[in-house]
Structure 1
């Protein structure tokens, strides 16, 4: 195991007796004890599919093109999840050992992806959108965006319930209020068994948006989703500043989310699929502001503030445990104990004053997410070695008085009849 993960542990000042409330120390025998370098090399090779316990992630330009902090995220997933789960890192690099085409043939993807014609500012994230649902549908498992810290084992987030035949849940996702009063499923963390009927239809709907186009501009006008209102997050409830983007472009960026919105309101008479019924009865939903963006909410969505807290020295010569030190300590303990993931996003670009992901991307800060003696280093260590004791509380979401569309999966509204719930 690398120095960042083990040898610095005594310097972190954390033992069984000093662990903060809500956390337990994970026995090392449950962890993957290889070094960072060994795990990084392993991630850049293909691995057989031996079960549905797969974690899927993707970076279109390849592992070496990821910022070091993103690489460390994925390495730590492997370390935390241990031998029962297989983390698959995929890319879209010709000739790559981990090219997505080793797992999915071109029929899963639109021409723009297959022919390397995607353009515009969002090629990377939208390439990830194109592959994520297909991978889960074919093989089963969990998708996590590469910019995600994992604080809780996937078994304890959702998988025990998904694989338990006595539980009704076949899928897990996080929801957030993307329109006032309307909870919306987002795509940064998705779990499901292989062949999941919702995941398959969601993927097919999103691929249809890419027919004949090379970027997401104007997705909100697409015939399949133009009947849906533009996304407009309830920033006041999210402790978020006003977003510095037009909602048309914001909605285009989240085109896959819009496809999910269409699907959860769809009843297809051709095969009997009932979106509202499926989401209500078979999808385990958790609040995104608790389980993914908790750290954003407590810092007012300021990447600069998050950077300041995590760059602060926690231990070592000359450290003064003053008010600033305590604020950083509280922030890290709160994150480790009370949220299952921490997703660092780059966008949509310009939406917020600052993004921690952008700061850590910059060459002068490439080591700041793991610098010895800092709170960032402590956060990294805790994400692997600590186990949460809290009980995760799912949401029972209801969407009353919404228009339910009775139509085929890829039929635009207006060409067939509709019903109202």
Structure 2
């Protein structure tokens, strides 16, 4: 790790965190703790999932999760659940089998592994509350400051926080890689029920989910790639919508009023959703590098300190890159991307997964190590701003939330 940064070295927008707020256990001690099951004693839970268990994660992903524990302190409990038969941290210790389709319970899913996480995240939040974070996420700010203070405030109207992207013109859709709520959220339960219904006819993967009777009336996502500076060939929309069907289920719920119990999805969403701009809070490094993974890898790998450091144009580029992220984004999501689902973009996650790069995110003296150091020792002075967006005037259907719309 880089040498300690003094107050005079800090760029604008960053301040030091008091050392007593950080968990100082070793990586090995925290990793061992994460592989044990811990009781749920409050809503202040961090939930993550890796189907084959924590020990099978790539080293950089393990370090993400270990640093969640370090950064958040004892008030928050990090739970990493899995789908390993007999595992102490199996999701079935927390959630009954009835919340999952037969293919998940029997272990016969044969599609993208991300959909296992889609089936897991909402039941955990519904039953226990807290924050779901995809394990490919580097946390740069405390959960309390990102959203939890506003979620737990009895005077606040907000009940569910998420980052959002524009998947249709003028329409922001919440992503599911970061979700924050207290337990028993009515939107979360219905959202999961809709997604579960997609798997009820014996599906073992997401093929043709966009044609399912519960979703077929909705417009296909038209990813607005310019909003996150993604310069790539437009994906196959149908394949992408199958991959992102979990998002579409939330869109269905947002656009209906259920006559059976009066739940008004549009009204609930407008009043109780706390959305943040994913282009700012989650995909900052991708946006400022136009999703160029090789450039990201090069900048993070450059020596910042030590004998190999050369303060030239590239060094200044890397310094501006890393300090911008540390000062202006709540988290870094490093996805692998749905290559088989129509979006062919190389990702930094794939480069760091490679065995020869297993320590590139912590290489001594590098800008990547400085990022890791800053994620634990720095805090931001800016406010995390709510996304300024109003639900557009759209057709709202009156129908049971698990009933198909007549076409």
Which residue does the alignment assign to 2:6? 15
Match of 1:149 among 132, 138, 144: 138
Which residue does the alignment assign to 2:150? 161
CA distance in 1, matches of 2:184, 2:281: 26
CA distance in 2, matches of 1:85, 1:397: 30
Match of 2:360 among 368, 380, 390: 368
CA distance in 2, matches of 1:382, 1:317: 21
CA distance in 1, matches of 2:219, 2:90: 36
Describe how 1:305-384 pairs up with structure 2 within 5 A. 305-349=295-339, 351-384=343-376
| C-alpha displacement of 1:289 | 0.5
Which residue does the alignment assign to 2:377? 385
SS in 1 for 2:74: helix
1:88-110 C-alpha deviation (Å, 9 max, x unpaired) = 01000011111000101101111
CA distance in 1, matches of 2:368, 2:162: 27
SS in 1 for 2:163: strand
Match of 2:285 among 267, 271, 295: 295
Describe how 1:182-193 pairs up with structure 2 within 5 A. 182-193=171-182
Normalization by structure 2: what TM-score? Answer: 0.97
Is structure 2 residue 170 aligned with structure 1 residue 198?
no
CA distance in 1, matches of 2:71, 2:231: 34
1:4-23 C-alpha deviation (Å, 9 max, x unpaired) = xxxx45x25x1122111111
8 Å contact from structure 2 (residues 171, 392) kept in 1 = no
Which residue does the alignment assign to 2:264? 274
CA distance in 1, matches of 2:395, 2:175: 20
Is structure 2 residue 101 aligned with structure 1 residue 106?
no
| C-alpha displacement of 1:378 | 0.5
8 Å contact from structure 1 (residues 314, 375) kept in 2 = yes
8 Å contact from structure 1 (residues 241, 352) kept in 2 = no
Q: Give the total of aligned pairs.
A: 404
Which residue does the alignment assign to 1:62? 53
1:229-262 C-alpha deviation (Å, 9 max, x unpaired) = 1111112232111345311111101010000010
CA distance in 1, matches of 2:345, 2:333: 17
Normalization by structure 1: what TM-score? Answer: 0.94
Which residue does the alignment assign to 2:405? 413
Which residue does the alignment assign to 2:391? 399
SS in 2 for 1:183: strand
| C-alpha displacement of 1:405 | 1.2
Which residue does the alignment assign to 1:3? none
Which residue does the alignment assign to 2:167? 178
Which residue does the alignment assign to 1:261? 251
SS in 2 for 1:236: helix
8 Å contact from structure 1 (residues 57, 146) kept in 2 = yes
8 Å contact from structure 2 (residues 167, 224) kept in 1 = yes
1:24-57 C-alpha deviation (Å, 9 max, x unpaired) = 1111111111000000000000011111000000
Match of 1:229 among 211, 216, 219: 219
8 Å contact from structure 1 (residues 118, 215) kept in 2 = yes
CA distance in 1, matches of 2:262, 2:123: 22
8 Å contact from structure 1 (residues 244, 352) kept in 2 = no
1:133-158 C-alpha deviation (Å, 9 max, x unpaired) = 00000000000000000001000011
Which residue does the alignment assign to 1:51? 42
TM-align CA RMSD: 1.2
CA distance in 1, matches of 2:282, 2:256: 27
8 Å contact from structure 2 (residues 17, 379) kept in 1 = yes
Structure 1 gaps of 5+ residues are 1-7, 416-421
Structure 2 gaps of 5+ residues are none
1:191-219 C-alpha deviation (Å, 9 max, x unpaired) = 01100000010011111111120001111
Which residue does the alignment assign to 1:128? 117
CA distance in 1, matches of 2:38, 2:8: 39
SS in 2 for 1:273: coil
CA distance in 2, matches of 1:324, 1:102: 50
